[in-house]
Structure 1
Amino acid sequence: MEKERFTISVYTENNIGLLNRISAIFLKRHINLDSMTASRSEIPDVYRFIIVVKITEEQVKKIIGQIEKQIEVIKAFYHKDDEIFHLETALFKIDSSLLFEKREIQNIIKNNNANIVTVTREFFVIEKTGRRRETEALYNKLEPYGLMQFVRSGRIAISKEKMHISKILESFTPENI
């Protein structure tokens, strides 16, 4: 089977140590994570991990089964890239003198639909939200000017198809367990 990129969504209770146990599932199988994010979900007291991996569909099915064996895990799903809307955010910190000395930086920012979020005497910060290839392209354009700092979030994603996840999760809320 061919490796594909999968986005795994894991709905959980918010308990200490769960992140360690979930990441250990991937570690045991020598699977590298492309990204991982966590946030609260649309259901009170239910949290959501979004994990991106490049593996076979057979592997992702096994991993979902292992993740769902964790006590605090309510439900896990996986999706291919064409089944979800996904974005990430990147921040770029650059020397402020370049903003005024190098006109092409202003054009790069504008042409890449990025935003300047702050300017100080020493540096300015650019924010870019989009697909990974877009943040990578902006990185490649800005890198020759000297990046002071760069950081990118993990993927955030929602499914294109209606999942009725809220109804599924309502039965798992603490007052119903």
Structure 2
Amino acid sequence: MKKENYTISIYTENNIGLLNRISAIFLRRHINLESFTASVSEIKDVFRFIIVVQITEEQVKKIIGQIEKQIEVIKAFYHTDDETIYQETALFKVASKLLFEDRQIQNVIKSSNANIVTVTPEFFVLEKTGRRNDVEALYNELEPYGLMQFVRSGRIAITKDKMHISKILENFAVETV
């Protein structure tokens, strides 16, 4: 079977130790996490983990089954890249003198649709939101100028198709009250 990127969405209660147990499921199978993000969901007191892995569909089905056995997990889903709308955000810290002394860096900023977040006498910070290849392209263009710092978020994603998870989560919220 062919390996491809899968975005795994896990809706959970917010309990201590759950992240360790979920990561252990991947560790036992020697699967590397490409990206990991956690946030609140659209339902009060329900959290969402988004994990990106590159594996086969057979593997992802087994992993979803193991994840859903965790008592705090309400529901887990997996989707391919084609089935989701996804983004990442990155911050780039660059020496301020370059912004004023090298006009080419201004062209890089404009062509990449990056935003200047802040400018100080010592540095400026750019923010770029997009797909991973967009962020990496900007990184490659800025690297020769000397990046002072760089950080990229994990993937955030929503499905293209209508999901009925909100109804499941609303029922869960009512049951836990």
Q: Paired residue for 1:72?
A: 72
TM-score of the superposition, structure 1-length normalised? 0.98
The DSSP-based 3-state class of the residue aligned with 1:54 is strand
Q: Report the CA distance between 1:169 and its aligned residue.
A: 1.2
Distance 2:24 2:128 in 1: 32
Amino acid at match of 1:32: N
Amino acid at match of 2:83: E
Q: Report the CA distance between 1:162 and its aligned residue.
A: 0.3
The DSSP-based 3-state class of the residue aligned with 2:21 is helix
Q: Paired residue for 2:175?
A: 176
Amino acid at match of 2:108: I
Q: Paired residue for 2:41?
A: 41
TM-score of the superposition, structure 2-length normalised? 0.98
Distance 1:2 1:160 in 2: 23
Aligned: 1:96 with 2:96: yes
Q: Report the CA distance between 1:117 and its aligned residue.
A: 0.2
Q: Report the CA distance between 1:33 and its aligned residue.
A: 0.3
Distance 2:106 2:116 in 1: 10
Aligned: 1:5 with 2:19: no
Distance 2:142 2:130 in 1: 16
After superposition, the CA RMSD in angstroms is 0.6
Q: Paired residue for 2:137?
A: 137
Q: Paired residue for 1:157?
A: 157
Distance 1:34 1:59 in 2: 15
Question: What are the Cα deviations for residues 69-91 of structure 1, in whole angstroms up to 9, with x where unaligned?
Answer: 00000000000000000000000
Q: Paired residue for 1:110?
A: 110
Distance 1:151 1:120 in 2: 19
Question: What are the Cα deviations for residues 120-172 of structure 1, in whole angstroms up to 9, with x where unaligned?
Answer: 11110000000000000000000000000000000000000000110011121
Q: Number of paired residues?
A: 176
The DSSP-based 3-state class of the residue aligned with 2:66 is helix
Amino acid at match of 2:153: S
User: Within 5 Å, which residues of 2 pair with 1:120-135?
Assistant: 120-135=120-135
Distance 2:36 2:116 in 1: 26
Question: What are the Cα deviations for residues 20-51 of structure 1, in whole angstroms up to 9, with x where unaligned?
Answer: 11111000100000000000000110000000
Distance 1:21 1:110 in 2: 44
Q: Paired residue for 1:24?
A: 24
Distance 2:45 2:117 in 1: 32
Amino acid at match of 1:170: E
The DSSP-based 3-state class of the residue aligned with 2:162 is coil
Unaligned runs of 5+ in 2: none
